[in-house]
Amino acid sequence: MYIVVIASSKGGVGKTTHSTNLAVQLARRGKRVLAADLDLNNNLTDFFLRNLERGALEKRNILKCILGERELGECIYKSNFEGLDVLPSTLSFGAGVKNLEVEYLLRVFGEGFETLSYDYLILDTPGHLSVELEFAVIVSDLVLSPVCPRRWSYQGMKDLEEVAEGIVEKLVVVPSLVGRGKQEQERILNLKKKYRVSRVSIGKLGSIEKATEEGRELKPGSKGDLWFEALASEVIEIEKESGRSLKSRRVIG
């Protein structure tokens, strides 16, 4: 199983949009995908499971697994997309993990990933430095970091580098909410001097924002759909290049 984390210490850069659309694109290709929500805002959960009763989610969710109250398999739900399952979060997630140490998450929760039989695990993370973000980065094979080509958003990259040792080696920056301005393009070129940057840039489109808000996939063949299709292709290429997977390494040293 190949673990892809969508991460940034800045909010408003489109992490959940990237997580949901990447998961959908991989599932379209016949991959078995688990999308897990590590964000206290639980936007990924809302995208895939918005019609599920809140009471059901409160009984079976990612926090229950972390606290040892439920088995991991009990808290996985099927989505409306074939081959795509969801490990949801609730609004109580942030308070529930606030006092936990990353070592605890690695031992209790990280080991549970080894029992899963998916091709890809997509982890959506919070837009701030936290124990759950650190955990996700440590167990990841690939970290995709959406970055808006604005000066203020670059601080998020510096913050992310401090989360875990060796993160830059598995980090790919994804230019996001990109406009047509010359200055934005120059900033993307500057990013390439320090980081690996994805070939595709995700532009700012109202259709993408609307689809995310409504919990539906992008129209096949639309501009936004083709962008995320290209991103999924690049993720698959990177996986093949690296030859890394959770099965070939230990989560805990």
Write down the domain spans for the chain.
2-247
Confidence grade of residue 151 (pLDDT, cut at 50, 70, 90): low
Q: What is the spatial distance between Cα 171 and Cα 72, in angstroms, rounded to a whole number? A: 27
Q: What is the spatial distance between Cα 251 and Cα 42, in angstroms, rounded to a whole number? A: 25
Residue 148: which residues within 8 A CB-CB, separation 6 or more?
Answer: 10, 12, 13, 175, 176, 177, 178
CB 248: neighbour CB atoms within 10 A?
A: 8
Confidence grade of residue 55 (pLDDT, cut at 50, 70, 90): confident
pLDDT over 50 (residue 50): yes
Kindly report the pTM of this predicted structure: 0.90
User: For the chain, what is the mean pLDDT?
Assistant: 87
Report whether 147 contacts 13 (CB < 8 A): yes
Amino acid in the structure at residue 61: N
Report whether 40 contacts 89 (CB < 8 A): yes
Q: Which range is least confidently modeled, 12-16, 35-39, 242-246?
A: 242-246
| Architecture in CATH of 2-247 | 3-Layer(aba) Sandwich (3.40)
Per-residue pLDDT at 236:
97
**3-class secondary structure, 111:** helix
Structure tokens at 191: 């990013």
Per-residue pLDDT at 96:
84
pLDDT over 90 (residue 192): no
Model confidence over 155-188: pLDDT tens digits?
667 777 777 677 888 999 999 887 776 777 787 8
Partners of residue 209 on adjacent β-strands: none
Report whether 159 contacts 22 (CB < 8 A): no
Structure tokens at 53: 């009763």
